[in-house]
Chain A
């Protein structure tokens, strides 16, 4: 851990300025990831800009019936917000599938988007890692890769994005509202996180001098036809091996609209809109679900230890679609898989 300056931003403009003036500055809100990364010397910021006093901790109604979720809304507050539970239960469910109560109390919405991979090598400065040290190599590709990505990987990086919340946000078609020196802009959720390509050190399309101010979710009406199904190495408090967020509209037994996103399988929440279109107009049944799973996983590539994820993801997609179609979403309290 290195020495660093600490300043507290009083306004969004302040925060942007404080970060822009120092390329090694980092924002800190809940600190549930940045502090760990600093302790491991993975992040060595010269300056921490505390943004917890910024007026971004509210959940507000949008004119279209959606919600504007301030970047500083805690994961716990978001998951238990009555509007979110009633109108966006997929989002609430995904959040409650992740971390622990203590972490969800501290972690912020913006920080959740910006959390970094849990790849062992990324966290361990004794080993090479292209994400941590560009050009040093990726030992995970031929090494310990049981938890790594099967979709959208590159020869430079096979890390996954660890968030559960983001998988739901990807499925729900959220937008990320950001501000920078040049003003504000919206980033579609699918464009926010990147695939590793040749620059795995870059996780997102957020510019170095920009700050997330909110995550906006448009109005939706999937009723009980949703689920967040998470499979992991113990029944709570573990990152996903594979997770699936599904939201459906079903009319007379046929799917009229579908949203599917996967977690634990790629460098970003993995949403396949072509696969979603495959479902539309078809009876909500195993044949269609299998076709969707096959489509999503067609480009999947397994490594020495994680090939099982392809088969697991296939089964998880089918089960999640079945849960959503039946209107019996997975409970995050009862650990029995429905």
Chain B
């Protein structure tokens, strides 16, 4: 059996694009319900201490206020912390809103005001007076780093640093060329366009339908069952559209807890939407202080890599991500020593944010590699090629499923015009501006997760493919439509994809860049089962022209099954389906990663990012005028949505290099620029030409459909490439992102 791929691998417009631009696509806060109540969250003004008194009399007296929840009257929820855990929770004690008078972070929810309309709830919330016994918060990692510790319990899915290889300290001490520097990237908040929101629809009889902003309905579903003791059949969770996630929607957030709490207590439908400033009161990309030491021979060959990180976490959870392990696998080196420790601050627990760990770790490693390039006088691309390794992952000693990173370097450099680069810093100018060309490597895991999908072919010749996973803007609806259409020889418009609903086949969270490989494979398998079933039906039709043909000798095309060698002999899918008992052909299948393959192989995506900056040195103004990113990510399902993923990652990477920073006031323990006027993400004016290359990388092991995933690789390395370009332009090395005017002038 062969599947013709007319659509997979081509550039296809988003199938949900029209719904999104016309407003037909509805988000968590947009679902209506009869007699809907509105909840507004009151946030803590202090970061550490205790609530001594909450006066909600004035608020309660406002006409239209239905109920005010605080820690003093919170209805009973699950007793054990473990009930509040979730699919990606780090070790520790998950945050439980309104649990007690204790305040653990600034902006902690201290009350929920529920009223008949949003305006009344908002007004009443402003009347609540909270008195605190405040303690001095500790939010300065520089002061807390002396208290760092190795996390006693590892976070599921995050590997601790591997054991040291060789003798890195000794090799570093004896290396002819050495680089040792400290690097950091400011705290960032995800700030998806859609704020976190939940609409809980009271269905009667103790049942609820929950529209939640979440990157995977199954996580919300399990959380609600655990926390509120509801059975699975009493809860349905929907999240058909997500207005951006970047990881902020992986864990259930407190608006979910509060809205379900109120809905169950009041037996009414309740909606809670967080404000933009409240979007700065939960997970964030952590601050980490990283030290990278590279030892090399004069010819650039690495003899020692040491990479240590001290990263902030909350008082109540040990958030972990993979920051340093990349330094043990990306380049060939026999002596490595990697360390990763945590230090506790009075903030909310950090959260996975687009390429968590890799954004920080690869920035440090790739900035250090750039410093090594200058220290050895070797071109940055050449330096990486001299240390290239593609036979195995040195951390695990497993083989790589594929690695076309060399092609990324070569094709990216060619497209960028890298050979015309004058290696000397400050050597290139254009008018008054200094011109800088920098590059860096990106790497991310290519993962696959157990995922189920259903394919249903109906008598009208239409196909529906369905799985519970989310499309957070990545293009999942579109690629699943392409896969389904190709499997059964249909047009895009004959296929509907359904996502984000716990009534659909089980899928894990949408994260880690694994959804295309996982859901894509599940849909592919389900469609193949349908294909076989509908072919059997077609053969059994009275006088079927396919009666004596087997599946290997037919082609599914234009809604028909035809004999490959004689297309005049064919049966329409619709006719075949009509002959079935139920009037449809349906199959549900589960795709799982191969355990045997996982024992022998590991899979990564790679990229080479080339950046041009132009710098007005006197005024410290940096413009990123050009970016070329060459990506090796296995099979590309949709050139258009794939390119969009890389573009978005690059823009976010430019933001991390130049703009994004959540500014803490350590006296208050509070992020102060909690709005999108003062928290800067790149504006259109900040983005120049971006060129994306997908290099050919056949891979039959990373996933059955050859896909590796693209959601994260675009951002990795981009920050380092920008910083390296700024060094090339100016001769100034700023090791503390974002590189703002003040830092560049001071450097």
Contacts and interface: CB of A to CB of B under 8 A. Distances in A.
Decide if A and B are genuine partners.
Answer: yes
Interface of A: 1-3, 39-41, 44, 118, 120-121, 123-127, 139, 142-144, 146-147, 231, 233-239, 241, 305, 308, 311-312, 315-316, 319, 335-338
B38 interface: no
Contact of A337 (B44, B122, B432, B665): B432
A123 B686 contact: no
B539 interface: no
A237 B677 CA distance: 8
Nearest to B666: A143
A337 B44 CA distance: 43
Contacts of A336: 431, 433, 614, 616, 623
B682 A127 contact: no
Given A142-B667, A231-B741, A308-B742, 7 more contacts: A1-B123, A121-B672, A235-B623, A319-B618, A319-B619, A336-B433, A337-B432
Contacts of A238: 677, 680, 683
Contacts of B123: 1-3
A139 B106 CA distance: 16
A338 to B, nearest CB: 8
A97 to B, nearest CB: 11
Contact of A236 (B44, B686, B741): B686
Contact of A146 (B44, B685, B742): B742
Interface in B731-747: 740-742, 745-746
B101 interface: no
A234 B745 contact: no
Contact of A234 (B618, B665, B668, B686): B686
B686 A308 contact: no
B670 interface: yes
A337 B670 contact: no
A328 to B, nearest CB: 11
Interface string B56-90: 00000000000000000000000000000000000
A236 B680 CA distance: 10
Interface of B: 43-46, 106, 119, 122-123, 126, 275, 277, 431-433, 614, 616, 618-621, 623, 658-659, 663-665, 667-668, 670, 672-675, 677-678, 680, 682-686, 740-742, 745-746
A1 B683 contact: no
B685 A1 contact: no
Given A126-B668, A143-B665, A308-B746, A335 B119 contact: no
Contacts of A231: 619-621, 741
Given A120-B678, A139-B665, A312-B741, A126 B45 contact: yes
A41 B124 CA distance: 12
A315 B744 CA distance: 14
Contacts of B46: 126
A38 to B, nearest CB: 10
Contacts of A139: 665, 667-668
A126 B680 contact: no
Contacts of B674: 124
Contacts of B658: 234
B682 A239 contact: no
Given A41-B126, A336-B623, A311 B659 contact: no
Contact of B670 (A127, A312, A338): A127
Contacts of A1: 119, 122-123, 126
19 contacts: A1-B122, A1-B123, A120-B673, A120-B678, A123-B675, A124-B672, A126-B670, A127-B668, A127-B672, A144-B673, A231-B741, A233-B659, A233-B741, A234-B682, A308-B745, A308-B746, A319-B618, A319-B619, A336-B623
A315 B619 contact: yes
A75 B44 CA distance: 38
Nearest to B672: A120
Contacts of A3: 123
A23 to B, nearest CB: 20
Contacts of B677: 118, 238-239
Nearest to B62: A3
A44 B127 CA distance: 12
B34 to A, nearest CB: 26
Contacts of A40: 277
Contacts of B678: 118, 120, 147
Given A41-B126, A336-B623, A126 B663 contact: no
Contacts of A234: 658-659, 680, 682-683, 685-686
B267 to A, nearest CB: 28
Given A121-B672, A124-B674, A235-B683, A241 B741 contact: yes
Nearest to B621: A337
Contacts of A235: 621, 623, 683, 685-686
A313 to B, nearest CB: 11
Contact of A2 (B126, B619, B746): B126
A236 B684 contact: yes
Nearest to A40: B277
Contacts of A125: 45
B44 to A, nearest CB: 8
Which of A125, A142, A235, A312 is packed against the most chain B CB atoms within 10 Å?
A: A235
B682 to A, nearest CB: 6
B122 A233 contact: no
A164 to B, nearest CB: 14
Contacts of A312: 619-620, 741-742, 745
A39 B673 CA distance: 16
Nearest to B674: A124
Nearest to B742: A308
Contacts of B275: 39
Contacts of B667: 139, 142-143
A233 B658 CA distance: 8
Given A2-B123, A3-B123, A144-B665, A233 B106 contact: no
A307 B621 CA distance: 17
B118 to A, nearest CB: 10
A337 B614 CA distance: 10
A40 B43 CA distance: 12
A114 B538 CA distance: 76
A109 B618 CA distance: 34
Contacts of B126: 1-2, 41, 44
A118 B740 CA distance: 19
B722 to A, nearest CB: 13
A167 B580 CA distance: 77
Which of A44, A118, A233 is the most central at the interface, judged by chain B CB atoms within 10 Å of its CB?
A233
Which of B126, B275, B432, B664 has most chain A Cβ within 10 Å? Answer: B126
A127 B43 CA distance: 13
A40 B46 CA distance: 17
B327 to A, nearest CB: 31
Contacts of B745: 308, 311-312
A125 B128 CA distance: 13
A337 B685 contact: no
B133 to A, nearest CB: 16
Nearest to B431: A336
B672 A335 contact: no
B199 to A, nearest CB: 21
A120 B662 CA distance: 12
A320 to B, nearest CB: 10
B618 A236 contact: no
Contact of A308 (B43, B682, B684, B741): B741
A261 to B, nearest CB: 18
A7 B433 CA distance: 54
Nearest to A333: B685
Q: Which 7 A-B pairs have the closest CB atoms?
A: A126-B45, A236-B685, A120-B672, A308-B742, A235-B685, A236-B683, A337-B616
Contacts of B675: 123
Contacts of B431: 336
A233 B665 contact: no
Contacts of B683: 234-238
B319 to A, nearest CB: 24
Contacts of A124: 277, 670, 672, 674
B351 to A, nearest CB: 22
